[in-house]
Structure 1
Amino acid sequence: MVCTVRHVLAFLQPCSFGFCHFFFSQEMKLTFQERLKRQKDAVACGMKKLDAKRTEIKKKALTIRNNIERKYEEMRRVLEEDCRTTLSLLEMEEKATVRALDDLIERNCAVFSDIEFQLSEGLVDSEAQSGDTVTELQDRVGQGWLVDRVEDLLRVTDPGLVRLDEVKAEQMLDLTNNLLLFIRSQTPVAKRLLKSCLTEVTLDPNTAHPKLIISPSKDCATFTSVWQEVSDNESRFDTTLNVLSLQSWDSGRHYWEVDVRGKVYWELGLTYPSIPRKGRQENCWLGRKDGSWCVEFFDGDYTAWHGGKSHPLPICTHFDRIGIFCSFPAGLVMFLGEDNMTPLFAFCVGTFTDHLQLALCPGHDLQGSNSQPIKICNAAHAKS
C-alpha cells in the first residue's frame, strides 16, 4: 500500500510541477499584459493632457495677442482722431484767412475796375478837350469820392494785416513733436520690456580658449592666432573658441546684448556648466548637446542649434547687436536682432535642470574678415 501511494505521488509530482509552471507562466503573462495596458493608459492619458495643455497655451496666446492688437488699434484710433482734430483746426483757420483775403481781393478788383472806368472817361474828355493839360486831367480824376475810397482800401487791405496764428501753429507742431518723442521713448514695447531684465555679466578668463584675448574689463573676447600663456585647468576650452560668463543663474528673467558688428562669423548662447571643455568632439560646440542653446552666424546665414539639431533661419539682415532673453519661470531661451528687436528663434525648454551661463564664440579671424571682437553690452552700453 505504501509502495502504491509512493508510486502515485511519484507519478503526480511531474504533473504538479508542469501545472504549477503553466499556472505561474499564465499569471505572469497576465500580469505583464495588465502592466502594459496600464502603461498604455498612462501614456494615452499623458498625451491627452499634453494635447489639452497645447490647446490651453494656444488659447491663452490668442487671447493675449487679441488684447494687444485691440490696444494698438485703440492707440491708432486715438492718434488718428487727434490728428484729424488738429488738422481740422488748422484747416478751419486757413479757410477763414483765405476767405478774408478773397473778400479783400474782390474789393480791390471792384475799385480797380472803377479806376479803369474813370481813367477811360478821363481819356475821352482829354480827347474832346485837347486844350486841357495833363495836370488838369489828373486833378479832375482825383477829385471826389474815388480818391478817398482808394486810400481807405489800400489802408485796410495791407497783406501784412492778414496772417495765420503762427505762434499757435508752432505750439501745435511742438506738442506734436513732443508726443512723437514720447511714443518713441515708449516703443518698441518689447525693447522696454526686455531691457528692464538687463543683467550685468562678465566673462570668466579661466574658461576662455587660449587663442582668445579677454579684455581687462572682462566684457570683450578677441581671437588671436597666438596661443596665450594661460593656465591649463578643467574649466578651460582647449579646442572650441568658447568663453563662458563668470556668473550663472538659476531663477528669474534675464536679458543680455552682445555687439557683433563687423563680424562674419560668431556663436553665442546659454549653456549648463556641464558642457564638455576638452577634445575635438562636437559636444564641446554650443548647441550640439541637450545642455546648451545657441544661434550661429556664418557668411550671412543664421542657424539656431540645440541638442545637435540645426534650425536654419530665414533672415538676411546683418545685425550689429544680438539680444538673448532667458525666462526661468517659462523655461524659455529667445534670441533677437536688437537693432529693431527682430525675433530670431526661441527654444521652449520647459524646466531648466541646472544653472545657466552665457557663452560666446567670436570665431577665427578668417584671413582678417572676422578679426573684430565680440563684446557684451552691459547697462551703460545696452541702453544707448
Structure 2
Amino acid sequence: MAAASNLPSEDQFLCSVCLDVFTDPVTTSCGHNFCKKCINDYWDTNNQNMCPLCKKVFTSRPELLVNTFMSEMVSQFRQSAQQKASSSSSEQQESKPGEVPCDVCTGTKLKALKSCLVCLASYCETHLEPHLTASRLKRHQLMDPVENLEDRMCTKHDKPLEMFCKTDQTCVCILCICSDHKTHKFVPLKEEYEERKFKMEAQIQQIIQERQLKIETIKGFVDISNRNADREKAEGVQVFTDLKESVERKLNELINTIEEKQRTTKKQAEDSIRELEQEISELMKRSTDVEKLSLSEDLLQSVQALNIHHPPPTKDWSEVSVPPASYEGTVVRAVSQLEETLSKKMKKLVAEVKMKRVQKFAVDVTLDPETAHPHLILSDDGKQVNDSDVKKNLPNNPKRFSTSPSVLAKQSFSSGRFYFEVQVKGKTDWDLGVTRELSKRKGDITLTPQKGYWTICLTNGNQYEAAADPPVLLSLKSGPQKVGVFVDYEEGLVSFYDVEAAVLIFSFTGCSFKKKLLPYFNPELNDGGKNSAPLIISPVGVN
C-alpha cells in the first residue's frame, strides 16, 4: 500500500456527481467510481440507468458493490488531509474582527483567503485547496474574501453580478442582459470600474490641484501680510524715531535753558562776592594803619593822621542782592512747547505715511491725443499738456472734447486702486480728476459726480473748489505745486493730495462708478500767457 505522503492528487478521489471526496465509493461495470448514494440518486432523478461520465446506458440498474480498494485509498487520503489541515491551521492566522472568516472551519475560524461566487462561501488556505486542484472546482470564480456574498449574486437569476447596465446604472448578471436589460447599454463590471476609477482619480487630482492652488494663494496672502507688517514696522520705527529725536531735542533745550540760567546766577553771585572781598581787604588794611597810630606818643600827630586816614569810600550794598534763580514754570513751558511740536510733527508724519500708502498704487498714465481738444498741445511722450489759444484742424471723432479744453488718459480702470501725480506749478487755472468712459465730451460740460466727473479745480490763481453739486470751497494754507489723485474703485473713493505737503485736500466718498474710469486733465485756457504753464504727469515719489 502506498504511503500517505505518496497519495495521488485530490481530484482522483472526487465524485463527479457531488464534486466531493468519495463516500462509500462504488464502481459501475463501465469502470467509473461514484459515491453510492450519489449514483443511486442520479438514476432515481433521471429515470434512466446511464453512467454520468461516459453516458453508457445499462439495460437494467447494475448491482453496486463497494470498491474496497478505493475505500481504503479514500480513507488514507482523508487521514492525510486532516493531518495537513491540522498542521496548516496552526500556521494560518485566526480571523480577527473586521476580517472575513472561513465558512467551512469548525471551532476556531481561520482567516479566509478567497471567496467563491459560485459556492457563495469563503475559504481559508486549507479549505480553498479543492478549488485550486479539482478540475471542476477550478472553473469557479474566486475573488478576494468578502462578506455578504449573497449581495453579489443576482436575486432573480442566482448568477454573479459581473455586468453593469449604463442605462439603469446598476449591476446585472449575464442573464439580465438577455432579458430585462437586453435593449440597454451595458459593459463588463471591470470596465465600468476602470472608467469610474479613472474619473475618480481625475476628480481627486483636480481637487488636489485646487487645494495646492489654495495653499499657494494662502502663502501669497501670508507673504503680502509679512511685507505689509515689515513696511508698517519700518514706518513705525521711523515715526517714533523722529518723535524720540524731537523729545530729546526739547529735553536738551530745557537742560541748556536751566543750566544757562544757573550759570548766570552763579556768575552774578561770584562777581558780587569778589567785589565785597576786595572792600573787606581795603578796610582791613586801613584798620591796620589806625592800629599803628595808637602806638605813637604824639597824640597831636595821631589825631591829625586820623583826619587824613579816614575810612575808604565803599559801595552801598543795601540795595544789592543775588536772589536764587527761579525755575518755576520752565518744565511746564517746555512740555507745552514739546506737545505743540509733537502734535505738528505727528500730523506731518501720519500724513506722510498715508501718502506713502496711496503712492504704492501708482500707475503709469499717458495722455490720449484722440481725446484732446483741438486747442491743446501734448508733448511727444504724452506726459504734458497746455492750451495754445490756436485751434488745430483735427478730426472730430466721438472721443474728442469739442468745447472744454480737456484730455483723457489712454489708461482705463474698472477695479482695484490706482494713483497718479500731476504738477500744477505756475498755473492760475486747472481741473483734475477722473471721469467715466462714457461721460459727456461734446458741448458744455458740467463737472459733477452726477455727470460722471470727480474733480477739483483752481480758478483765478487762488480759489480752490471741489466740483460737487453744489461746489465745495477748499481752504488751503498754501497752493499745491503737485496734486496726487487716488481712486479706490470698490470703496467708491476719489481723494486729492498736496503731494509736497503730504496733506489730504479733499475726498469724494460713497461714489458709484459702475463703468470704466479714466484720468481727466484740463489745463484751462492760456489766458494771454498767464496760464501757459503745462500740466505735467510726474513720476510718483519724485518731488
The alignment's TM-score, normalised by the length of structure 1, stands at: 0.54
Q: Does 1:212 align with 2:371?
A: no
Decide which of 281, 292, 313 is 2:453's aligned counterpart: 292
Query: 1:226 matched to which residue of 2?
Result: 390
Decide which of 448, 463, 467 is 1:301's aligned counterpart: 463
AA aligned opposite 2:416: G
Q: Does 1:188 align with 2:354?
A: no
Query: 2:400 matched to which residue of 1?
Result: 236
Q: Does 1:340 align with 2:501?
A: yes
Larger deviation, residues 89-98 vs 222-231: 89-98
Residues 113 and 323 from structure 1, CA distance in 2 versus in 1: closer, same or farther, beyond 3 angstroms? same
Query: 1:378 matched to which residue of 2?
Result: 539
**Pairwise CA distance, 1:288:** 7.0
Residues 85 and 226 from structure 1, CA distance in 2 versus in 1: closer, same or farther, beyond 3 angstroms? closer
**Pairwise CA distance, 1:238:** 2.7
Decide which of 504, 514, 528 is 1:353's aligned counterpart: 514
**Pairwise CA distance, 1:117:** 2.0
CA distance in 1, matches of 2:509, 2:385: 29
Larger deviation, residues 224-233 vs 101-110: 101-110
The superposition leaves residues 140-190 of structure 1 with CA deviations (integer Å, 9 ceiling, x where unpaired) of: xxxxxxxxxxxxxxxxxxxxxxxxxxxxxxxxxxxxxxx99x979845343
AA aligned opposite 2:475: I
Decide which of 276, 283, 295 is 1:117's aligned counterpart: 283
CA distance in 2, matches of 1:121, 1:325: 91
Number of equivalences: 254
Query: 2:475 matched to which residue of 1?
Result: 315
Look at both structures and tell me which one has the larger radius of gyration over its CA atoms.
2
Over the matched positions of the two proteins, sequence identity in percent amounts to 25
* Aligned residues: CA RMSD: 4.1
Residues 80 and 345 from structure 1, CA distance in 2 versus in 1: closer, same or farther, beyond 3 angstroms? closer
Query: 2:423 matched to which residue of 1?
Result: 259
1:148-187 counterparts in 2 under 5 A? 186-187=349-350
What's the secondary structure of 2:480's corresponding residue? coil
2:414·2:517 contact (CA, 8 Å) conserved in 1?
A: yes
AA aligned opposite 1:303: E
More helix by share: 1
The superposition leaves residues 321-353 of structure 1 with CA deviations (integer Å, 9 ceiling, x where unpaired) of: 333221123110123444535544322244431
1:195·1:383 contact (CA, 8 Å) conserved in 2?
A: no
Residues 113 and 186 from structure 1, CA distance in 2 versus in 1: closer, same or farther, beyond 3 angstroms? same
* Runs of at least 5 residues in structure 1 that lack an aligned partner in the other structure: 1-73, 130-178
What's the secondary structure of 2:470's corresponding residue? strand
* Runs of at least 5 residues in structure 2 that lack an aligned partner in the other structure: 1-239, 297-341
The superposition leaves residues 10-69 of structure 1 with CA deviations (integer Å, 9 ceiling, x where unpaired) of: xxxxxxxxxxxxxxxxxxxxxxxxxxxxxxxxxxxxxxxxxxxxxxxxxxxxxxxxxxxx
CA distance in 1, matches of 2:523, 2:395: 21
Larger deviation, residues 239-248 vs 82-91: 82-91
1:220·1:376 contact (CA, 8 Å) conserved in 2?
A: yes
AA aligned opposite 1:193: R
**Pairwise CA distance, 1:263:** 2.4
AA aligned opposite 1:340: A
**Pairwise CA distance, 1:301:** 3.1
1:268·1:294 contact (CA, 8 Å) conserved in 2?
A: yes
**Pairwise CA distance, 1:212:** 0.6
**Pairwise CA distance, 1:249:** 2.0
What's the secondary structure of 2:531's corresponding residue? coil
CA distance in 2, matches of 1:354, 1:244: 15
Residues 305 and 78 from structure 1, CA distance in 2 versus in 1: closer, same or farther, beyond 3 angstroms? same
AA aligned opposite 2:281: I
Query: 2:328 matched to which residue of 1?
Result: none
CA distance in 2, matches of 1:206, 1:311: 30
1:267·1:286 contact (CA, 8 Å) conserved in 2?
A: no
Q: Does 1:369 align with 2:509?
A: no
**Pairwise CA distance, 1:192:** 3.3
1:303·1:310 contact (CA, 8 Å) conserved in 2?
A: no
Residues 104 and 294 from structure 1, CA distance in 2 versus in 1: closer, same or farther, beyond 3 angstroms? closer
What's the secondary structure of 1:310's corresponding residue? coil
AA aligned opposite 1:383: V
Which of 1 and 2 has higher RCO (CA within 8 Å, sep 6+)? 1
**Pairwise CA distance, 1:75:** 11
